[in-house]
Amino acid sequence: MVAPEKPQHPAFAVTRKGYDPNQVDARIAQLTSELKTTSHGRDEAVATAGELTKALTTAQAELSEAKAALVRVTSSPAGAGAISERVRMMVQLAEDEIADLRRSAEADAASTRAEADRYAHETQRAADKAAKESEAERQRLLAETHADLAARSEALDARIAAAEKDLAARQADLESRIAAAEADIATRTAAADEEIAARLADLEARLKAGNEDIATRTAAADADIAARTAAANEDIATRTAAADAEIATRLAAAEEDIATRTAAADAEIASRTEAADRARAEADQAAAAARAEADQVALIARTQADEAAAEARAKADAESQHARLAADAEARRIRDEKDAEALRVRTEADEAAAQARAEADAAAEAARRAADEESARLRAEADAAAEAAAAQARAEADRRASEEIAIKKAQAETALADALQKQTEATESRTLALDLRTKVADRIAATNEAVQEALRFLGSQEEEAASADPSPADAPSQASAPTAGPSQTSAPTAAPSPTGSPAPALPQPTPRPTSSTSDAQSTADPQQPAEQPTPRNGNGNGRRPGRPRAGRS
């Protein structure tokens, strides 16, 4: 059997400290299970050898019975000298071959049993030794790895402590520089705030002066507007009074004229009573015309006065509005100029303060960034050194563990291959034992057939002797001879065949029974079928005769 190819790399998963102990234990448990399976196969082979030994013993007993039957046949007076040389040689050859087969089977069984025992003990001892060595080596590697890692961890802790001390010193220096920068920033910020306050105070003074100027000019404009408005109101009042006086004069004149005319009309009405209606109508018409003319004149005068007053008011309002708008525009312009100046000064101050703050923030941020970068660099160097040391230690431990476990695994694979080879050899030995048993069965079947042939020959010889000497004195002996023939043939016929013996431990099927024995008996004595004794279960011992195989000698 060809041993399986050994793997170049271990089949276990690599962890931080070597191979996974669970997988190693599982592999050892698997090898132990395979060893138990091999031991079980060896036990089965031993049991099979025992069964074969029992079968050979049974075959030998049956052969002894056959020999006794042959002795009885040869001791009979009728067929003692009738056995041919060929039958005797066949029986002798069968006995010799059965003895040789039995000795060979016993030797093979003993050798197989000894080899299986030796292999089982050696395999168990090698597996135990390999497991103990692997466990000891694993413990040693783990201890060495732990010690190495502890030493490297201490060195790394020392380097990290030194790096942290250096980092603390740099951090203190950086904090002092940051404090100095912040103090400078505070000083510059205070100066900028003072300058901004001064500029704001100046701007507020200028704004106050501008507001006072605007208030003065606004008051002057308001006074001018009030004076012009008063003059316009006086002019309007004068013109309105004049218009009202003229209207009153005209109304008085009209009313006087009306009164005069009314009086004349009344006199004329009084004198002219007859024409009262006409006169009264004329008077009424004249009065209505006078009143309409007076109303028209008064309306025209009042309209003219109102138009003059409205024109004067509109002119005064326009002048006042123009003066007010001019004053407002001037005040707005001055206020806008002051606001723009104040906004410009405030913007300049804010820009200066923002620039100072930005410079201070930039300086502080640069200092912080430099400190952070230095701290990150130192931490990265320390972490890289620690990781490199740990990785180197892990790689070294993994390499050594891989080499050791690969060696142990190769040894275990070799032991497993040897176990598989031994198991295969045991299986082949079992197969050979089964073949040997089959051959023994075939030989026994051939022997039975040879015995049957010899019996048939003896029966024919007895029949010939009986037919050749039919005297009355020999009648009883002739009658007893055929009677004894079948009874004597029943003994060889009852010779058991080992092919039908039960062998529960063997998986091969039981050969089918044959009817050659019954055919031989019926052929040997066809005239007396009723006088043949009935054998038990076909052959007298509870077993069926085996079917003869071809190729027998």
- What pLDDT is attached to residue 519? 42
Highest mean pLDDT among 5-14, 110-119, 332-341: 110-119
Residue 128 has pLDDT above 60, yes or no: yes
Identify the residue whose tokens are 């208030």: 215
Please check whether residue 520 is in contact with residue 452, taking contact to mean a CB–CB distance below 8 angstroms.
yes
Q: What is the pLDDT of residues 391-429, one digit of tens each?
A: 776 677 677 766 767 776 676 677 677 767 776 777 777
Nearest-CA neighbor of 108 among 507, 440, 432?
432
What's the rounded Cα separation, in Å, for the pair 537 and 496? 11
- Whether 87 and 453 have beta carbons less than 8 Å apart is answered as yes
Q: Which of 69-78, 99-108, 185-194 has the lowest mean pLDDT?
A: 69-78
One-letter amino acid of 279: A
Query: Across the strands, what pairs with 15?
Result: 18
Q: How far apart are CA 347 and CA 551, in angstroms?
A: 128
Q: What pLDDT, on the 0 to 100 scale, is given for residue 10?
A: 52
535 pLDDT exceeds 60? no
Predicted pLDDT at 45: 85
Pairing of strands 18-19, 14-15: antiparallel
Buried b (16+ CB within 10 A) or exposed e, 323-346: bbeebeeebeebeeebeeebeebe
Query: What rounded mean pLDDT belongs to the chain?
Result: 71
**Of 263 and 172, the one with more pLDDT:** 172
Checking if the pLDDT of 260 tops 50, the result is yes
Residue 14 forms beta bridges with which residues? Answer: 19
Q: Tell me if 116 sits within 8 A of 46, measured CB to CB.
A: yes
User: pLDDT tens for residues 485-521?
Assistant: 444 444 444 444 444 444 444 444 444 444 444 444 4
Residue 399 CB neighbours (<10 A): 11
User: What is the rounded average pLDDT of the residues 146-155?
Assistant: 82
pTM: 0.24
What are 19's strand-pairing partners? 14
